[in-house]
Amino acid sequence: MKFSVLASGSTGNVTYIETAHTRFLIDIGMSSLYVETKLKEIDVDKLHDFSNHPFKVSDDEKMEELTESIRERGVLLPILVRKTNDEECEIISGHRRTHAARLAGIEKP
């Protein structure tokens, strides 16, 4: 699995690696791993496409399948957003999942 490291370092016996979604703290002396996620639930009505985004979402058979999957299991893979103000967010990745969540009646994808 590949991921982009935003930050890494160490203090004493503790080493940390931070990605866009997760911070891993590894305590060598205690032989322990602590994982802190940066995931949060956001209301669907607070999510918007970024202006001039190139992604087109189609209401086709694949969308129906995704909608049914989300209805049964929820959104399994988080979407990626950036804040535009204190309450609103632009969708960077996950346009299809967000659309399917709306179709399935999910309020927080």
Task: Render pLDDT for 15-24 as a digit per residue (tens, 0 to 9).
Answer: 656 666 666 6
Mean per-residue pLDDT, 78-89: 84
As a whole number, the mean pLDDT across the chain is 76
Global pTM reads 0.63
Q: State both tokens at 17.
A: 């690696």
